[in-house]
Amino acid sequence: MILMARKRERERVVVSFCVLSEQKKIKTLNLEIENLTDKKNYSFSHGTMPLTNLFKNCSYYWGFAAFVSYFVNHPNYTSPPADRAVFLFALAILCQLCNARAHVILANLRPPGKSTGYAVPRGFPFDIPLVGGLTCANYTFEIYGWVLFALATKTVAGFLFIAAGAAQMALWAKAKHARLRKTFDGLEGRERYPKRYIMLPPFF
């Protein structure tokens, strides 16, 4: 019993450390993506983010970070096996790197010197073999990354975090998909927007 209790305590410490490290890494990636947004002024989106969104985003990320951390560091927290948590955290980081790649592609859609116009994003992760195309690959991989994070922490707070974020991203993704289909309608020499999933294949 003592050995099992010590093993559970070691696993709890490992998972707690991984949670803090994972949150720091993912938030750093998200901040770098936001910086890229400001510097490149994405050609796929509206001009700038309203100032109110800054407070909303900060409240969302840091509020849920505190919420998840409270439960993960609670004395009664039962952690999943450490090796499973580390594996899921590694996959989550991989998803966030795919998210970052999607943002780099979006940031470079507009040719140098052009201040207007849209283009259809191409290449991975917008085009995935055996899956098809994605309109909002950046949202897709951000959501997958946070789902893996929630599974690794095994907390209700983690799943509430991704549910709130995914609901907002789904609204943005649906609006963007409709806008791109309207812009690239295949008429008068314009390119026809390819058939793609909006965000979460094969469901959405």
Quick: pLDDT tens for 49-101: 566 777 777 788 888 888 888 888 878 888 788 888 889 988 998 998 999 89
Interatomic CA distance for residues 141 and 93, integer angstroms: 10
Three-state SS at 74: coil
Q: What residues contact 196, with CB distance under 8 A and at least 6 apart?
A: 126, 132, 133, 134, 135, 177
Three-state SS at 150: helix
Query: Any idea where the domains of the chain sit in the sequence?
Result: 2-111+120-185
Helix or strand run (H / E) with residue 170 = helix 156-183
Nearest-10 Cα torsion for 126, 149, 96, 34: 110
The C-alpha angle with vertex 79 and arms to 77 and 80, in degrees rounded to 5, equals 155
Judge contact between 116 and 44, C-beta under 8 A.
no
Average pLDDT, the chain: 77
* Prediction pTM value: 0.75
Interatomic CA distance for residues 103 and 74, integer angstroms: 36
Termini Cα distance of the chain: 47
* Sheet order of strands, 127-128 included: 127-128, 132-134, 196-197
Helix or strand run (H / E) with residue 52 = helix 51-72
Beta strands 196-197; 132-134: pairing state:
parallel
Q: From the centroid of its chain, how far is CA 85?
A: 19
Q: How confident is the model at residue 160 (pLDDT cuts 50, 70, 90)?
A: very high
Which residues in 16-172 belong to E strands, given as ranges? 127-128, 132-134
* Sole residue written with tokens 């970052």: 100
Q: From the centroid of its chain, how far is CA 66?
A: 19
Percentage of residues of the chain with pLDDT beyond 90: 21
pLDDT digits (tens, 9 = 90+) for 124-155: 999 988 788 899 999 999 999 989 988 988 88
